[in-house]
Amino acid sequence: MVATPTVRRRMLGAELRKIREALDLTVDEVASRLGWHQSKVSRLETGRSGVRANEVGIMLDVYQVTDPETREALAALAREGKRRVWWQPYSDVISQRYASFISFEAEAVSARNFESSLVPGLLQTGDYARSLIRQLRPDAAPEVVNALVDVRLARQNAALQREDPLNLWAIVDESALRRMVGNRTIMARQLHQLITASKEPHVTLQVVPFEAGAHPGIHGSFVILEFPVRNDLDVVYTEALTSSLYLERDDDVGAYSKAFDRLRAAALDVGPSRRLITQIAKESE
């Protein structure tokens, strides 16, 4: 299975780091007392590796944390961080970076997504996704393409159809709506799907028209994922051809949040955005 830095791991690591720092202990001192390598403690605190519930108990013994509720809450985070995930059967076809993104998205309460060239993944039709994947991975076997489409659709279901659906605020550049992916029929259906999705109460969709000129999204697409309770766990995700980047520092998240706000201002409101999508869909039919 592809290892993923789930939000629960990050929460556990943040809490353990806070306890350690309150005791004025260094990572090296804790590792020495536990008989662990320093890197294990460091990776645990950053959520980059999991830990067993009994190991959390041993750490809390070192930290002299005796409160039963605190001990159980942190042990529960350790157990939940290792739970089976829905995308596990696809671990042979999805990359580490994609699995990491899915793990974050699965636990986020909201996502602010700007797309400069393509329809947002959570709003793509199966045919659009299949045509896109074939273009991006021309050497992929048909069964791999089908599996990746299944993952895309499963992501949509897991995020937007769950009991408490993800609040998605998507902003797309007009070029993403006019770029032909597949054929005219596929594009027309995709655009109509966007119109339908935009009417859902948990989906906000805006379009940045060509007339807006240069805008903050000109540098590329990005997603800001927000999580419940702790806003210091929020992340920005950006992706290039061969790499992806998670930004977690407050300054970075703040900068992208301001860029998204500027994009909201540059974009058409929801109603005019829907009318523009409808117009482009008619041109595609």
Please write the tens of the pLDDT for every residue from 199-210. Answer: 999 999 999 999
Q: Are residues 210 and 128 in the same domain?
A: yes
Residue 7 has which token pair?
């939000």
Note the pLDDT of residue 103. 83
Please write the tens of the pLDDT for every residue from 179-201. Answer: 999 999 999 999 999 999 999 99
CB contact at 8 A, 96 and 150: no
Rounded Cα gap, residues 108 and 229, in angstroms: 11
Q: Helix or strand or coil: residue 1?
A: coil
**Boundary (domain end) residue, out of 78, 104, 135:** 78
CB count, 10 Å around CB of 23?
A: 13
Query: Dmax of the chain from CA atoms?
Result: 69
Please write the tens of the pLDDT for every residue from 263-274. Answer: 999 999 999 999
Does residue 50 come out as left (phi exceeding 0), alpha (psi in the -120 to 50 range) or beta? beta
Q: Are residues 61 and 176 in the same domain?
A: no
Residue span of the structural domain in which 54 resides: 7-78
Write the DSSP string, 260-282. HHHHHHHSPPHHHHHHHHHHHHH
Q: Are residues 172 and 268 in the same domain?
A: yes
CB contact at 8 A, 273 and 198: yes
Rounded Cα gap, residues 104 and 8, in angstroms: 10
CATH number reported for the structural domain that contains residue 38 in this entry: 1.10.260.40
Judge whether 1 lies within some domain: no
Measured in degrees and rounded to the nearest 5, phi and psi for residue 178 equal -95, -15
Give the pTM: 0.80
Judge whether 2 lies within some domain: no
Pick from 119, 128, 112, 225: nearest CA to 170: 112
Q: Are residues 67 and 15 in the same domain?
A: yes
Rounded Cα gap, residues 32 and 27, in angstroms: 9
Rounded Cα gap, residues 121 and 142, in angstroms: 20
Judge whether 245 lies within some domain: yes
Judge whether 157 lies within some domain: yes
CB contact at 8 A, 201 and 165: no
Please write the tens of the pLDDT for every residue from 36-92. Answer: 998 989 888 877 777 888 888 999 999 999 988 888 888 877 776 666 678 888 888
Please write the tens of the pLDDT for every residue from 213-229. Answer: 889 888 889 999 998 76
CB contact at 8 A, 78 and 135: no
Edge-to-edge strands, sheet with 244-247: 203-208, 167-173, 110-115, 222-226, 235-239, 244-247
Rounded Cα gap, residues 248 and 207, in angstroms: 27
User: What type of residue sits at position 16?
Assistant: L
Pick from 101, 132, 117: nearest CA to 224: 101
Q: Helix or strand or coil: residue 237?
A: strand
Q: Are residues 112 and 251 in the same domain?
A: yes
Q: Are residues 74 and 179 in the same domain?
A: no
Q: Is 3 exposed, middle or buried (0-12, 13-18, 19+ CB in 10 A)?
A: middle
Q: Are residues 114 and 230 in the same domain?
A: yes
Judge whether 249 lies within some domain: yes
Q: Are residues 136 and 180 in the same domain?
A: yes
**Boundary (domain end) residue, out of 60, 78, 96:** 78
Judge whether 93 lies within some domain: yes
Judge whether 144 lies within some domain: yes
Measured in degrees and rounded to the nearest 5, phi and psi for residue 182 equal 85, -115
Q: Are residues 69 and 96 in the same domain?
A: no
Query: Considering its fold, how many domains does the chain have in total?
Result: 2
Q: Are residues 64 and 97 in the same domain?
A: no
Q: Are residues 113 and 237 in the same domain?
A: yes
Judge whether 240 lies within some domain: yes
**Boundary (domain end) residue, out of 78, 99, 128:** 78
Please write the tens of the pLDDT for every residue from 141-156. Answer: 999 999 999 999 999 9
Q: What is the gyration radius of the CA atoms in the chain, in angstroms?
A: 21
Q: Are residues 44 and 94 in the same domain?
A: no
